[in-house]
Amino acid sequence: MMRGRHSLNLWGPLDGRGANILDNDEHRGQFRLASVVSYSDSLLNPATFAEVSKLDGAVQDLRVVPGNGRQIQYQKVCMRYRALCVPRNPLLYARQVDQTLDLSSISFPIYNHGGHPLYLTGFLGGRILGGSLGMDQLLLPAKAMRLLYCLKTEDPEDNVHSKQWLTHFLDQFTNLKNTLALKKIEVPGGSGL
């Protein structure tokens, strides 16, 4: 996650649909938060975690085609840090990059992944901590996870595209969940978010 000069400050609603504003000292944007809850004891089970990753991939693949006929997908409207979309969840990103990541040896609140600290506080819920791992503790079960989709709004064109993608995201999310036939996780809430 971003640190120091790039730390995230979240504040207030942007519109009546529940989108919020994100400000990271250099860029300003809106975000949408999705909470994922495991039907089993823990999201850290590899099969359950794979379903979270499948959901995330499907959200990123959502495309809206406005009146001009040009597709808008998440990769076009996501807020970026070092040329990549800001990770939706640091642990999910680490697992997507490294499929060999052992989910049974994650430390909390900070997990050191390849020399890079991942700050997990606020991204995992319903967690139980085990024995001490230095200044951190072993993360045992974690029942819930937050996925944060950050969208660019600083430039007027980016703002329009981000709002179009976000509207499509909100309109299609229930259909997306149904199409995926999720069996190990749920995304609670009236609209799924």
Element (H, E) at 151: strand 136-152
Q: What is the pLDDT of residue 119?
A: 92
Average pLDDT, the chain: 81
Sequence-separated (6 or more) residues with CB below 8 Å from residue 126? 37, 141, 142, 143, 144
User: Is the pLDDT reported for residue 54 higher than 50?
Assistant: yes
CA nearest neighbour of 91 among 42, 17, 51, 147: 147
Report the SS3 class of residue 25.
coil
Average pLDDT, stretch 61-90?
90
Q: What is the mean pLDDT of residues 40-55?
A: 93
Give the three-state DSSP class for 50. Answer: helix
Give percent of the chain with pLDDT exceeding 90. 50
